[in-house]
Amino acid sequence: MILVVLGTQDKQFSRLLEAVDHAISSGIIKDRVVVQAGQTIYQSSNMEIFDFLPAPEFDKLMDDADLIITHGGAGTILSAIKKGKKVIAAPRLSKYMEHHNDHQKQIISEFSREGYILALYDFSKLDKIIRKSKNFHPKKFESNTKNMDNLIENYISSDNHISWFNKFFEGISYLFFGFCTTIINFLIFYLLRVIGCSILISNTIAWILSVLFAFFTNKIFVFRSTYKSKKDTFREVSLFFICRIVSYFFDIGFLYLFVYYFHISDMISKIISNIIVIIVNYLFSKLFIFKGEKILYEE
């Protein structure tokens, strides 16, 4: 029996399942194949696919498996090699929106170099790796060996480094697109004021158009979110617009406060209120809408 494990990431990894499915259809794989797909949506009559299995059942499947095919999550790899299992590991790649970065390539490279697993980088060569696995004898896991301690230490260090890079990149990209959103909002507001529209109408139209721009840039470039189902799509879109409506009232409130109470010009007031709204929107997006992954040993 072959167990395929895709982990708990909120990103799709259908590429690996397509490769396994093709290997079954081609007759390369003749064993029973069980998949814990996590958030990946995939249908096939060739495999038994589950979202998440209860821990006891998953452990039993791992015990019974002759081969484990997994993504590059350190948790799954460590669990498998502790049991002395043959493991083929394939990295999730950021260019396919499968992860925020490519650190799984480094994890797999380290474990493969030490002789614990077989690495799969080119999915078209899965058949060759499977044939190779038949004569592959993985290095025995010993938790107190110097090599394994160094391997885990290097992984944790590199993962923390990458995590800090992700936070830095996310913040910079958010500020950039937030600036672009503000410029769009400001220009539309200015043009509408020039042609004689009221502050309320100008601000509302500018808000609607800038929110549409913000949604797609936040989703695709900043938080790099992928939809899993219609329910998830509806939730994310709804939360985004609800939070933007809330921040819109922040915008209106501060704009009127600065213009009519502090007697600041409407254009300067607009700039100040937009800065406040950018901060509020980032907190909404980060905490409630495009939730980032917080797991160190990613599954």
SS (H, E, C) 129-162: HHHHHCCCCCCCCCCCCHHHHHHHHHHHHHHHHH
- What's the gap between Cα 243 and its chain centre? 21
CA distances from 3 to 39, 63, 184, 194, 233 (A): 17, 10, 50, 65, 30
Examine the pLDDT at 255 and tell me if it is beyond 90. no
Angle between helix 146-194 and helix 266-284 axes, rounded to 10 deg: 150
Structural contact between residues 163 and 157, judged by C-beta atoms closer than 8 angstroms: no
Whole-number pLDDT of residue 249: 87
Reported in sequence order, the residue ranges of the chain that DSSP labels E, i.e. its strands, are 2-5, 33-36, 48-50, 67-71, 87-90, 118-119
Overall average pLDDT of the 236-259 stretch: 86
Tens of pLDDT along 14-52? 999 999 999 999 999 999 999 999 889 999 999 999 988
Q: Which residue type is seen at 141? A: F
**Which comes out higher in pLDDT, residue 85 or 212?**
85
**Which comes out higher in pLDDT, residue 58 or 270?**
58
- Domains of the chain, CATH where assigned: 2-141 (3.40.50.2000), 161-289 (no CATH)
Burial readout 209-218 (b: 16 or more C-beta within 10 A, e: otherwise):
ebbeebbebb
Write the DSSP symbol of residue 292.
Answer: P
**Which comes out higher in pLDDT, residue 143 or 272?**
272
Cα–Cα distance for residue pair 194/208, rounded to 1 Å: 19
Cα–Cα distance for residue pair 87/80, rounded to 1 Å: 7
Overall average pLDDT of the 72-81 stretch: 89
Structural contact between residues 182 and 203, judged by C-beta atoms closer than 8 angstroms: no
Examine the pLDDT at 162 and tell me if it is beyond 60. no
pTM metric for this prediction: 0.54
Give me the count of residues in the chain. Answer: 299
Whole-number pLDDT of residue 269: 86
Overall average pLDDT of the 96-110 stretch: 86
Give the mean pLDDT of the chain. 83
| H or E element, residue 186 | helix 146-194
Confidence of residue 293 (pLDDT cuts 50, 70, 90): very low
Examine the pLDDT at 118 and tell me if it is beyond 90. yes
Task: Give me the phi and psi of 139, to 5 degrees please.
Answer: -60, 140
Whole-number pLDDT of residue 150: 59
| H or E element, residue 204 | helix 199-217
**Which comes out higher in pLDDT, residue 295 or 177?**
177
Tens of pLDDT along 188-208? 999 999 999 998 899 889 988
**Which comes out higher in pLDDT, residue 270 or 79?**
79
Overall average pLDDT of the 244-261 stretch: 86
